[in-house]
Amino acid sequence: MPKFATKENLETIVDALRDEMSDVVTDPTDAGPIVELTAKGWAEQNGTPSPDSPVDIEVVRGKNLLPCTVVTTTNNGITFTVNPDGTIVANGTVSYSYATLILLNATKLQSLPVIGKSVTLTLSGCPAGGGSSTHQLAATLGDGGTTTVLTDDGAGATHAFTNVQCPSAGNVFIRIYGNGRTVNNLVFKPQLEIGSVATPYVPHGHIVVDVSHDGTTTAIPIPLPERGYVAALPDGTCDTLALDGAGGYEWTLNTRMTTQAVTDGVTGTVGVNVMSSTGQIADGATVLYKDATTTESGYVSDMPTVPVHAKLTTDLHDLAVRCCADDGAAEIASAWGKRYESRIANLESAVAELVANG
């Protein structure tokens, strides 16, 4: 031990290192890259299921409920160009009273996960300047026995449904009004989501991960697995999303959902490694169970390519998007705090030795 080492100056160094480590963990602007960030799947049932009183299993799905099933087409002089991210660009001159693009017809509306539910929905994505004489985005749905039309003129449209239904004339459409009216690069971002507030557009089948770097937060849409959901079971088995900080992502899938549990040979214990809408492992029930692990990976071109060194957070949105993110600070401490922990441990040992030796 050097002769100048005293209990007091070693404790001062320890305190300084703790402060420095705290800064790295809680304000990671200069912390450097993290090897990987992970988000976990989620599932929940709001009630006790039984065969006579089924309870839906809520899992992680994308917040945008509108699938993009249309292709680029021209109607009454307007060409509607469908982009890979689901946005739609209108160009041309209207040759009739209006030009229309049907996004979803009544048959396709039947597959919306909110059919039959009591929920508030918000439609958004109409560009600014919308109205009954210019352009609109609209959705025709049923609320019990009443037809309800959500019409977005640019500020979003909201309705609290007691029982979402799909009437025979149900649809979702874009309409450009005015015979002879010309539009140039009019961009629609159709989104139907749970809640009373229109939030930024996310492509259907994606969740949003907020990645921060150098004080800037970037919202990154990450494609969900091909099956369209991720989940977790009561025993802790869960699907996970890993980001490598350079644009790569990988889903590790450990659960699966089926309505043919007996036919598929599902075994397990309900409430442990199985969830069931009826409380039973049975055909006809919606059953979430532990499955053999599979992976799906890809690359997101707009992921920050600089070293990522901040929290991973996700948009928690009721039935739409719900992921439990591992604590970003803990990730940073794991990746970058070990050098501080080692130095602090050595210095504390030296302090203890000084105290023991008087």
Pairwise CA distance, residues 66 & 72, whole Å: 17
Could you tell me how far CA 31 lies from the centroid of its own chain?
26
Per-residue pLDDT reduced to its tens digit, 16-62: 656 655 544 444 444 444 445 667 778 889 899 999 999 999 888 88
One-character DSSP codes across 179-211: TT-EEEEEEE--EEEESSS------TTEEEEEE
Could you tell me how far CA 182 lies from the centroid of its own chain?
36
The predicted pLDDT at position 18 comes to 60
The predicted pLDDT at position 324 comes to 41
- DSSP assigned state of 28: G
Cα–Cα distances in Å, from 178 out to 31, 99, 131, 132, 338? 56, 9, 11, 9, 66
Tokens of 296: 């799906």
Mean pLDDT rounded to a whole number for the chain: 82
Say if residues 59 and 42 touch (Cβ distance below 8 Å): yes
Per-residue pLDDT reduced to its tens digit, 106-123: 999 998 989 998 999 999
pTM: 0.73
Q: What is the mean pLDDT of residues 4-12?
A: 64
Per-residue pLDDT reduced to its tens digit, 145-181: 899 999 999 999 999 999 999 999 999 999 999 999 9
